[in-house]
Chain A
């Protein structure tokens, strides 16, 4: 998905001035696309989109409806809701991956996009971490503690596990955040669905 070129950010915003501000801020770092309403967003979105910035209050098709459509189509992208009112718990249940209070600061916008791009790597990196731990567990059942202490392979594996865990925890970010926590669990469950 991110093999070629910069990450793709789709801005869905019905106020042209606001959309233009986002574009100006973001275009040197990302491939920015803009859609003025929900219908345009659904026409614009495809597998190349990494992050969607979605205005909650839009005429005709609301941000929630757009999100539902994105999820129903099984698009592998992360969606941040931009909202003028402080969000309730319902945004966690609806399946938004993050939210920003309008108007977002430039720094905030970048941080949120970067966090969501990181989260796209989470399941794969958790998988790698799991595989290493599973191999370590197998060695622990096969060998004695003395054998393990003398094993270079085991020491190298332990180092790799520490590095893998560090990478995962960086992508997880602050799990005290409800949206980040539920979003992270949703990432591993999407994968479970595909495996079935």
Chain B
């Protein structure tokens, strides 16, 4: 496939699809709905036979599965795979969907092995279009130097690009200074910013040619 459909996720006048190999970063203050938007972007192609491979750094695999089922009530559990480094109790989930556990968000080698294993399983099932999530970069920055996280993001986004996937990452913009946010942002093709105003929530999309860079109401 050459594009991933994201129709009706974002307001009219922004974007409705993303080219294969694109890496998207969702930023914004806490509680503005970054996770929810990430799950929507990951889940919207599920009905068309795509796979979802998500790395969770703080929520357990089972709570992540719940969030996906909220987006897609008829979730095909064979096409959802999770790398869980939250240390949460997810024995139950492990029986239900493909899960790789990693002892800590700081174990990037473990995360990469886990995602590679799960991607290989998708390929055995002939699921070639995969949306990759990583929620969230902020947790990685708590565990590791910014430079290590930056290097990892460069490698991981290259991986998603070279396998023709779609990458969706989240980062809390308030937890880190502007300089850190700029540094991380530079690794992404597209940045979706969320903010809360007196008139309600707003979104803007930056980085893609043709996308309007202005704020749009987003309820």
Contacts and interface: CB of A to CB of B under 8 A. Distances in A.
Given A175-B155, A188-B152, A182 B109 contact: yes
B182 interface: yes
B120 interface: yes
Contact of B116 (A130, A137, A168, A181): A181
Interface string A167-190: 011001011101001101110110
Contacts of B196: none
B137 to A, nearest CB: 15
Contacts of B178: 140-141
Given A137-B182, A141-B178, A182 B152 contact: no
Given A130-B150, A195-B145, A185 B120 contact: no
A56 B113 CA distance: 21
Chain A interface mostly = helix
B103 interface: no
A192 B155 contact: no
Contacts of A130: 147, 150-151, 183
Contacts of A140: 178-179, 182
B145 to A, nearest CB: 7
A96 B111 CA distance: 17
A184 B158 CA distance: 11
Interface string B167-188: 0000000000111101100100
Contacts of B158: 169, 172, 175
A127 interface: yes
A174 B155 CA distance: 11
Interface in A126-170: 126-127, 129-130, 133-134, 136-138, 140-141, 168-169
A188 B116 contact: no
Contacts of B154: 126, 129, 168
Nearest to A185: B112
A183 to B, nearest CB: 9
Nearest to A179: B116
A185 B155 contact: yes
A186 B110 CA distance: 9
User: Which of the listed residues A133, A140, A175, A185 has the most CB atoms from chain B within 10 Å of its own CB?
Assistant: A185
Given A141-B179, A175-B162, A195-B145, A189 B108 contact: yes
B204 to A, nearest CB: 16
B159 interface: yes
A184 B113 CA distance: 11
B186 A136 contact: yes
B183 A172 contact: no
29 contacts: A89-B116, A92-B117, A126-B151, A126-B154, A129-B154, A130-B147, A133-B183, A134-B179, A136-B182, A136-B186, A138-B179, A141-B182, A169-B158, A172-B155, A174-B162, A175-B158, A178-B116, A181-B112, A181-B116, A181-B155, A182-B109, A185-B108, A185-B156, A186-B109, A188-B108, A188-B151, A191-B148, A192-B144, A192-B148
Interface of A: 89, 92-93, 123, 126-127, 129-130, 133-134, 136-138, 140-141, 168-169, 172, 174-176, 178, 181-182, 184-186, 188-189, 191-192, 195
